[in-house]
Amino acid sequence: MNGRDFYEVLGIGKGASEDDIRKVYRKLAMDWHPDRNNTPEAEQRFKEINEAYQTLSDPQKRQMYDRYGRVAVSDAGRRGFEGFDPGGGLGDIFEAFFSGFGVREERGPRRGGDLHYAITISFQEAAFGLGREIDAARTELCTRCKGNRAEPGTSLTQCNTCRGNGQVRRTQSNLFGQFMQVVPCPTCKGEGRIVQMPCAQCKGAGREQRTRKLQVAIPAGIEDGTQVRLSGEGDAGWNSGPPGHFYLSVTVKAHPFFKREGNHLIYEMPITFPQAALGDMVDVPLLGGAIDQLKIPSGTQPGTVLRIKGKGVTDVNSRQRGDLLVVVQVTTPKKLDARTKKLLEELHKLLEPEHPKQSVE
């Protein structure tokens, strides 16, 4: 060590913030890493830079250094440095440092992320099915570089840090000893290759955010809470991995008077007492607006279920239609005019409620 001032080594002022120190270090380490820099003094400079960084990036060590100068802290600084990697070369401290900066922990082809959207449709749309166009914001491969990150016509070169295999070994020491870890290469982020000239369109990301119109066919008979999957319509994959999926959660609004039970529709139909007693032909609304005629037999009791076959909801899988189940509700008039009242009073004299008979044994 030539004993240069740490601030001078990093080329920063005494008041530099931790953030500034980190940025400067990052750049210098890149410039002087012996794998990247072939000049004879690179190794020495790199050591110096690391030593300076070890001290100045640690607030306590930095304070000591500011107060007492190099002598007081150089040992601590060097110990810190050497403690990282006894004999493993300079690569490891470099990696140990950079691996803290959001390096992706996986390598190789990976499926892209899934997208989740939600829509709300009407009861009728759910019963009959519909097509919907959805604006889906998703990540796609850059159209200019086709995802390879380099400007078309330029090439990618093998990463020197990892020699192109995308992984590096890292030695970590703690109280219990030293551990060897294989981690994604921090220089190339596990890609094994370095982009020389980044693609002008995606700035070297290889990916772009784009909004696509997706045609979604929602099948007839879909139920509330169903998830429709569009395979491969999610975010683009990584390293030639397949794209993710697009999931659409469908919420179905309630209908003003139809309810659904599986593929059957339930309709609670109000009728009068005379209709129930005498029987009648009544109009029944069907889902979608049509009307059907239904015969109410004489003597129909409240709660009786009358069935109109095939007027329910189409089954999503079998395509068979359920039934419309008409539940008879006998209503009691609330307002009575004089004539109705008189007729009911007469009726009242004629009718006796039928109590269930108790058997006496």
Residue 244: CB minimum distance to Zn ion, A: 20
Residue listed under structure tokens 């279920």:
305
Nearer to Zn ion, 236 or 313 (CB): 236
> Over the Cα atoms of the chain, what is R_g?
39
Residue type, 193: R
CB under 8 Å to 55, separation ≥6 — which residues? Answer: 6, 61, 62, 65, 73, 76, 77
Residue count of the chain: 361
Nearest approach in angstroms of CB 173 to Zn ion is 23
Closest approach of Zn ion to the CB of residue 183, in Å: 11
Instruction: Name residues whose C-beta falls within 8 Å of residue 159's C-beta, 6 or more positions apart in sequence.
Output: 166, 185, 187, 188, 191, 192, 193, 194
**Could you give the CA distance from residue 160 to residue 206 in angstroms, rounded to a whole number?**
21
Cβ pair 323, 308 in contact under 8 A: yes
Q: Please identify which residue in the block is written with the tokens 């709660």.
A: 303
Q: Which residues pair with 135 in a beta bridge?
A: 213
CA 159/CA 189 separation, integer angstroms: 10
Whichever of 29 and 162 has its CB closer to Zn ion, that residue is: 162
Cβ–Cβ under 8 Å, residues 296 and 280: yes
Q: How far is the CB of 149 from Zn ion (least distance, A)?
A: 6
Is the CB of 11 or the CB of 100 nearer to Zn ion?
100
Per DSSP (E only), the strands in the chain are 115-121, 130-141, 156-158, 167-174, 177-184, 193-195, 207-218, 226-230, 246-252, 258-261, 264-272, 280-285, 291-296, 305-308, 324-331
* Min dist. Cβ of residue 46 to Zn ion (A): 17
- Least distance in angstroms from the C-beta of 3 to Zn ion: 34
* Site residues for Zn ion per CB under 5 A: 142, 144-145, 159, 161-162, 185, 187-188, 199, 201-202
Rounded least distance, CB 166 to Zn ion, Å: 6
Q: Are 253 and 130 in contact (CB under 8 A)?
A: no
Q: Which is nearer to Zn ion, 54 or 161 (CB)?
A: 161
Those residues whose C-beta lies under 8 Å from the C-beta of residue 43, and which sit 6 or more positions away, are 34, 90
Comparing CA positions, the residue from 54, 45, 58, 99 lying closest to residue 81 is 54
Shortest gap between Cβ of 57 and Zn ion (angstroms)?
24
